[in-house]
Each structure stands twice: as structure tokens, then as C-alpha cells.
Structure 1
Amino acid sequence: MNKDRLRSIIYIVIAATLLSTGGIIIKFIDLPAMTIAGGRAIFSTVVVWLYVKKPKFTFSKAQISGALCYSAMIIGFVIANKLTTAANAIILQFTAPIWVAILSVWVLKERIRWYDTAAIFSVAIGMVLFFMDDVSGGNWTGNMVAIGSGIALAGVTISLRFQKDEKPVETTLLGHMITAVIGIPFLIGLSFTTGDLIGLFVLGTFQVGIAYIFYSLAVKHLTALEAILIMFLEPILNPIWVFLIAGERPGPISLVGGAIVLGTVIARSLLANRMNQIEANKYVNHQIEG
């Protein structure tokens, strides 16, 4: 293994670990969800802008839709963490690849593959288990918001496929800016403790801003599948931190549902990568024979 590849693996593990702290930090900040989302976005906007230095905003339909979906995704994640368990919030958000498969049929006119159909049914079973376990109104609402956050993340992915000259970092930066603007009214008139300000600073600077920088540096030397699989550390570590520090634990049925969802999404990623390689090899062989 060369040094660049090893360094990239370390970087993306750091990124996943930093992102996984979101659940526990949000739990300990005694502020409304929209205030947290807006405050975090202000810090993350500064950090990512300093990293990009000269962002290129084209304000194309794809960039704007991607930024709006990104904003909805990060706002939804904060709200979900306030209403349901951290495990439910992050795992239900990680259903995004399944929503991408569904939306691709409608938006991109792509055919849905057999393993996508199987994954959709399997994830649906996992999500039903989440709702069976969390019968209280707050948890039920939080689960719905978390699913919405996953759909929004899928919207970001679809939007990026339409972009030509824009870069993902510029789309996400615009998403942070939109979130900051939306959140400003929820910051006015509130009194913040030192702990609140430290929490918002850590969320925006490290949990999102620096985590994304490490991620962007890592993906240059890793395959897309490697990056995706390593990033699955986030939904695994997120509820672990919350359990160890705050004592919050999901119910047994939710744990089964979470295992089904994560297992399905990982299996689909592996299978999709394998099928794409087979199709690529067939195309190359056909070109050679032709």
C-alpha cells in the first residue's frame, strides 16, 4: 500500500469519526434545533470557505437544488436528533442510496436493477421495525424527519450528477450558507451559555467543516466504494458515543431494524460496484472485438 493511499484511509476514518460526534454534541446543546442548525452553519461556512478560498458559484439549477437539498438534509438531521434517538436519526438518514435508486428512475430515467428492488424491500422492513419500537409521538416524528433527511441527501446526490462545471464542495458550501441564513432568525433574542457557544463552534468547525476537508482530501486516492464503506463508520460510531456518554440506547427492535438497514445498504453498495465492473469489462471486451 502506497503512502498516499494509506494517508487517504486515515483521513477518511478521521472524517467519519468527526462526523459521528454530531449526535452526542447536539444532545448536550440545550438550544432549539433550528438555532443549532443555524449556529453550526455559520461556523462551517467560514471553515469551508477558507478551505476553498475562491468558490465558484454558478447558481445553476443543479447547484441551487443540490444546495437546498443539502440544507434540508443537515437541518433535518439536527431536528431528528432532538426528537428521536441518535441511532435512529443517523441510520435512517443513511437510507439515502435507496432513495437515490428510486429517484433515479423518475429524474434520471435510469432503469431500476433487481438488487435495488431487493434493497428497497429490505430497507422498508428495517424502517417498519424502527416505527414498531418507537411508539411515542416524539420518536415517531423524529423518525419521519430522519427519513426526510435521507431523501434530501439523495436529492444532493442526484443534483450533483447534473452538474458539469460545479464542484461538490461549492454546492455544499452554498448549502451551509443557506442554512445559516435560515437559522439567523432563530439566533436572535436568545441567551447563549459558554457551553452552547463551544458546542456550536465544535459542530461547525470540526464535526462538519474539518471533517469535510479530510473527506475531500481522501477521496482523491480511494475508489468511490472504499470511501462509501469507510464512511459507514459514522452511523456505527454515532450511537455508540451517545450510549457511552449520555446513556441513550435504542430499543431492541430498533437495533434489529438498524442492522437490517445498514447491512442492506452495505450489501447493495458492494453488489452495485461488482455489477458495474462486470458491465465495464463487457463494454471493453466488446470494443476490442469490434
Structure 2
Amino acid sequence: MMMTQTGKGYLFALITALCWSTSGLFVKEVGQSSFVIVGIQALIALIFNLLYTKEKIRFTAFTMIVGFIQFMMHLTFVLANQYTTVGNAIVLQYSSMIFVLIYQSIDQRKKPEMYQIFVILLALTGMIIFFIDGFSFDSILGNGLAILSGAFFGLQFYLNTKEKADAISSVKIQYLISILALLIYSIKNPVASFTLKDGIFLLAAGIITVGISGITFAKCIERIPAFSANVVCMSEVIFAPILALIFLKEWFTMHSLIGAILIILSLLYNMYKQKGEKYV
């Protein structure tokens, strides 16, 4: 049985979330500034992306704006991980769902559907409970950067569903902006000495967190609505602790289990409500 375009969109969104969930783990292991991390990840991802697709980059005002927004989303998220915990950064970044609905309401001049509001409240409740054991407001700067990253995160989702959008071109433009920012930063600031550990984790992050996810994200956003893509990608908050369990031997707490159940329920309910809609 052939998978529908909508089904493929959800699958690509899930793979994207899995790739993104490695970001915090890799960032914590690299002793470099955020500009260096983002720039080198982008360089590796660009090479990986060019090997995967030969499509030319479409330089339009719209694709460049989206590319810059994606660059800011990545930079602020890396910064957030350096100032606050991985859990806090992930939870607060997923305020992006709220921003998607705000952008949509402003653009279309209509109120969100009741089920969308319910999904957001259920998911946010789950995320708060999921990380309640380690949630702290001490790192005000990191938490603020994570929320700002969420605003950019939601905006990239929404803009990439527009007719003028070219998700693959925007991703490549994001890489170019990141590399340019690295060069400018390196001129004014000495880069810390690289260790073998830095190189390994940056290579992995470039290929997995940025490279593969950039391709799967572009494919998912072309097939499903921005709100649905955002909700599915929110499963990153489940994948990240699972990876921590596997590689760091961290066990789930009761709060984590309850929160995970609520998040999964929100994902399933949203997909149920969207099942009657058709997206090519």
C-alpha cells in the first residue's frame, strides 16, 4: 500500500524531530562559541546537502528572509543550550506552536480553531510536567533566548507553507548566512583551540542535527500544514530524553512519564483532527 503525501509529510516531520533531538547533546560537548558551532555545522551540512541534491539555490527576497529567520532560530537555540539546561531550551523553544497560531491569526485575520487551542494547552501542560524535575527559572537569559528561538521556529514553519516559499533553497541560504557569520566572528574574535572531541561532535551535529534534518524538514513542510508539522516535530521533547537514557543512562521519572503521555495524546489528537484535510 502506497503512503499518501500527507503520510510521508508526517514521517519526514518525525525524522526531523529525531535529528533535532541530538542538538543539545552535541552542543554541550563542544567547547566553542555559538557562532563557531553554528557556522561549522552549517558548512558540514551544506556539503552534505549539495551531495544529496543538485537543485540550484533560488535567491529571492522571500527565500533569503526565511533563510535568515532559520539562521536566527538555530543561533538562539545553541545560545540557549549554553546558558540553560537542554530540557529548558527544548520546552521553551516549543512555544513555537503558540507563535504559529499567532502568525496565522494575524495573516488570515481569524481566530484559532478550538481544537488547536486545546492541542496547544495539552501539549504545553505535558512539556511542563515532563521537565518539572529540572525546570528552573534561574537561567533567565537562556530561557529568554529559548523563547526567542521559539518565535523564529514558528515563523519559519509558517512562512515555508507560503506559495513563494522554497524550503530547500531557504535551508541552503541559512547555511551560507551561518558560514558568513562564522567568518565575520573569526576576524574579530580568536577561535578556541579545537580538540578531537570538538571535531567529532561538530561533524556529527553537522550531518545529523543540521544536514539530514534540513532535507527532511523541507520535505515535511511541503506536505503537511505548518501547525501539524510543528506539533509532530514537538516529539523532539520525547526523543531527547530517550537519547539521554541510552547514552547518559538517565532514567525517566514519574513526571517525565506523565508528561510524555500528554504530549503523545496531543500529537495523536491533532493528526486525528487533520485526517480529513488533503495536502499535496
Place the TM-score, normalised by the shorter chain, in its bin: 0.7 to 0.9
1:131 CA drift (Å): 8.7
TM-score normalised by L of structure 1 = 0.73
Residue 271 (structure 2) pairs with residue 270 (structure 1): yes
Counterparts in 2 of 1:59 and 1:28: CA distance versus 1, 3 Å: same
Structure exhibiting the larger radius of gyration computed from Cα positions: 1
**Does structure 2 retain, via aligned residues, the 8 Å contact 1:88–1:258?**
no
In 2: Cα distance, 1:11 partner to 1:117 partner: 24
Counterparts in 2 of 1:131 and 1:12: CA distance versus 1, 3 Å: closer
| Equivalence map 1:174-213=2 (5 Å) | 174-187=173-186, 189-190=190-191, 191-213=193-215
Counterparts in 2 of 1:273 and 1:13: CA distance versus 1, 3 Å: closer
In 2: Cα distance, 1:121 partner to 1:91 partner: 13
2:49 matched to which residue of 1?
48
Residue 169 (structure 2) pairs with residue 170 (structure 1): yes
2:159 matched to which residue of 1?
159
The aligned amino acid for 2:37 is I
Counterparts in 2 of 1:136 and 1:153: CA distance versus 1, 3 Å: closer
**Does structure 2 retain, via aligned residues, the 8 Å contact 1:18–1:207?**
yes
SS in 2 for 1:162: coil
Residue deviations 1:242-286 (CA, integer Å, cap 9, x gap): 354346789987x48954883575256335415747xx9xxxxxx
Q: Structure 2, unaligned stretches of length 5 or more?
A: none
| Equivalence map 1:272-287=2 (5 Å) | 272-274=273-275, 276=277
**Does structure 2 retain, via aligned residues, the 8 Å contact 1:91–1:261?**
no
In 1: Cα distance, 2:104 partner to 2:11 partner: 32
**Does structure 1 retain, via aligned residues, the 8 Å contact 2:99–2:154?**
yes
In 2: Cα distance, 1:20 partner to 1:88 partner: 13
**Does structure 2 retain, via aligned residues, the 8 Å contact 1:125–1:257?**
no
Aligned length: 272
In 2: Cα distance, 1:23 partner to 1:111 partner: 34
1:169 CA drift (Å): 0.9
SS in 2 for 1:157: helix
Q: Structure 1, unaligned stretches of length 5 or more?
A: 281-290
1:241 matched to which residue of 2?
243
1:218 CA drift (Å): 7.5
Residue deviations 1:47-95 (CA, integer Å, cap 9, x gap): 22333323232322x3222112111111122112222222232233233
The aligned amino acid for 1:196 is D
1:97 matched to which residue of 2?
97
In 2: Cα distance, 1:186 partner to 1:81 partner: 19
Residue deviations 1:158-214 (CA, integer Å, cap 9, x gap): 2223343x4211111111221222233444522211221222122112322134335
SS in 1 for 2:210: helix
2:27 matched to which residue of 1?
26
Question: What fraction of aligned residue pairs are identical, expressed as a percent?
Answer: 23
SS in 2 for 1:53: coil
Counterparts in 2 of 1:242 and 1:114: CA distance versus 1, 3 Å: same
Residue 72 (structure 2) pairs with residue 72 (structure 1): yes
**Does structure 1 retain, via aligned residues, the 8 Å contact 2:97–2:230?**
no
Counterparts in 2 of 1:197 and 1:136: CA distance versus 1, 3 Å: same
1:231 CA drift (Å): 4.4
The aligned amino acid for 1:117 is I
In 1: Cα distance, 2:134 partner to 2:19 partner: 29
2:114 matched to which residue of 1?
114
